[in-house]
Chains A and B, each alone.
Chain A
Amino acid sequence: MLKRLIDEKREIDEVYAVGPIIMMKVIANLTRPYRIHTVVSLNPIMVDGTGMCGSCRVIVDGKTKFGCVDGPEFDGHKVDFENLTARNRRYLTEEQIALKRFTGAK
């Protein structure tokens, strides 16, 4: 859809992508060749949410930023999505345990 709009040469100044990491990553990759400024809203794992712990650190333009206070919006072309994806998988096992407990599934 976005690709079609771009291909139709519609004038697009800015793209906002808010959603799963993989979707934001794909959108950022799509707009990169066209140099359309793309804002992504990141969802790293946060603990206190006040800039105190660094659990939500993300690499943007080679620098470490805190998602909670420096973001959560960042320039999608500068985000290290590989690192974010790996970091967000940190507690996958525990998340599944918690989900099972919550839903009562076996």
Chain B
Amino acid sequence: MAEGKKKKKTKIVPKKYPMPEQNPKERVKNFDEVPLGQDGETAILEAKRCLQCKPSPNRKICKDGCPVEIDIPAFIKQVQEGDFAGAMKTVRDKQNLPAVCGRVCPYENQCEGMCVLGKKNEPVGIGRLERFLADWERNEQKHGKIELPPPTGKKVAVVGGGPAGLTVAGDLAKQGHKVTLFEALQYSGGVLVYGIPEFRLPKEIVRAEVDFIRRSGVEMRNDHVVGKLDTVDELLQEYDAVFVGTGAGLPNWTNLEGENLNGILSANEFLTRVNLMKAFNFPEYDTPIRVGKTVVTLGGGNVAMDCARTSLRLGAEESIILYRRSDAELPARREEVHHAKEEGVRFELLAAPVRYIGDDEGNVKQVEAVRMRLGEPDDSGRRRPIKIEGSNFIVDCQTVLIAIGQSPNPLVPMTTPDLKTTKWGTIAVDAEGRTSKKGVFAGGDISTGAATVILAMGDGKRAAKAMHKYLTEDASWPAPEVFEKAAC
């Protein structure tokens, strides 16, 4: 094709270049990743779809949608030119977990949602470009050598090795602070290792990202539960600042009759057994998991989709999602809903559980549910589900997975008396992530309530900036009243 150098107007390619995926019939039998990734040639073609919009105060572009402020047009330009190493450098400048975010970010609401090309066509596949670069770096470059900055002599403790904690640790280590990361579980990564399944985010990739942060000079102390082994107050005696990123790990329950029957698990228990403890490989690994012929998952978010899809892979014949609102309100990403449907997950919408019915041995055998209809919008702006009296029905099942959200982990607030919390149990913070306790910062789900990986990382970024300032220039701290208001 003759592509004259001076040619001003390039032809717009309306759709993203396709992402090869595992066939749904095959993939429900394995835990391998579903999207297979693109090659360099496709990445360059995809990057060339980009219009290279200039930022202007009058319109928002891709990079305005990125919670960690990656210079997206710049790295796409580098990909267009085939300079993958340069592009990766641009990404890494802001992003500590590119291979993770290139897979699990809700791009459609962020960068790709703002893409100007996306107004009339499909947006540029920014997420897949990020994924391509991170995978390319991991496979081709082996991350290269990491240059460590001169030490500042300041010591920082990071509590919680999830997306927020890893971001803070990585950012502060980059600036020469001595960071120790305390993680309760045997592997760092938080929800990335115990929550998100292998077929969406291979654990090998998380390990490589965590390893990159370790090699940036972060000391990782695993199997260390702050709040049990020691307290934040004790950490403050040894460290100049502490970041709390302990996440939203407390599962919410339905509090219905029969909830403690065998076969009823929180999504966290189910996913932790499978992802962290490798129960799908029992008895090679010691932790078992049992799924019945029919599995009912309660909830409609990404975690619910993960549960329903994991159940199929563990051999369930039928996997049913029970959600109280309609398809349009499902909080999960569309891509996840689409993948779940492709794999044969059945959606029982506008239905809510009423009680659980057990057999003589204390195992669940049925869920009683009731039909719902949508009423007026509630505080969240979503239409409130209303029970239709007398519409109760029974679903036979042997496993029930409860995926109706998580609350903040209470361990650190409980053991740190002067750390103010809100009525939702989150730690009260100001805009910079400072808490009511001098020298202690917080971010991620523990201060925002359950959200996404990338928002936790954005939070971590802001806190890391404030912590650096606190450690090097200005150790002033806001008055307690600031937090009284937030705490109420």
Contacts and interface: CB of A to CB of B under 8 A. Distances in A.
B273 interface: yes
Interface extent on A, as a size class? 20 to 34
B379 interface: no
Contacts of A53: 251, 265-266, 268-269, 272
Contacts of B286: 98
A92 B473 CA distance: 59
Interface of B: 184-185, 194, 225, 228, 249-251, 253, 259-260, 262, 265-266, 268-269, 272-273, 276-277, 282-283, 286-288, 290, 361-362, 409-411
B272 A97 contact: no
A33 B57 CA distance: 77
Q: Which of A52, A57, A91 has the most CB of B within 10 A?
A: A52
Interface of A: 47-55, 57, 59, 64, 69, 83, 86-87, 89-91, 94-95, 97-98, 101
A92 to B, nearest CB: 10
A54 B184 contact: no
Which secondary structure dominates chain B's binding surface? Answer: loop
Given A50-B185, A53-B272, A69-B411, A94 B283 contact: yes
B88 to A, nearest CB: 34
B411 A50 contact: yes
A83 to B, nearest CB: 6
Q: Which of B276, B282, B362, B411 has the most CB of A within 10 A?
A: B362
B260 A101 contact: no
B333 to A, nearest CB: 23
B283 A55 contact: no
B363 to A, nearest CB: 8
Contacts of A97: 283
A59 to B, nearest CB: 6
B268 A54 contact: yes
Given A69-B411, A87-B260, A50 B225 contact: yes
A86 B363 CA distance: 9
Contacts of A101: 283
21 contacts: A47-B277, A48-B184, A50-B184, A50-B185, A51-B250, A51-B409, A51-B410, A52-B194, A52-B251, A52-B272, A53-B266, A54-B268, A69-B411, A86-B262, A90-B262, A90-B290, A91-B290, A95-B288, A98-B282, A98-B283, A98-B288
A49 B262 CA distance: 19
A87 B260 CA distance: 8
A95 B283 CA distance: 9
B411 A54 contact: no
Contacts of B225: 49-50
B488 to A, nearest CB: 25
Nearest to B249: A52
Nearest to B358: A86
A86 B264 CA distance: 13
A75 B467 CA distance: 44
B487 to A, nearest CB: 22
Q: Which of A53, A86, A89, A98 has the most CB of B within 10 A?
A: A53
B260 A51 contact: no
Contacts of A98: 282-283, 286, 288
Given A51-B249, A51-B250, A52-B409, 19 more contacts: A47-B272, A47-B277, A47-B287, A48-B184, A50-B249, A52-B250, A53-B265, A53-B266, A54-B251, A54-B265, A54-B268, A55-B269, A59-B260, A86-B361, A86-B362, A87-B362, A89-B262, A90-B262, A94-B290
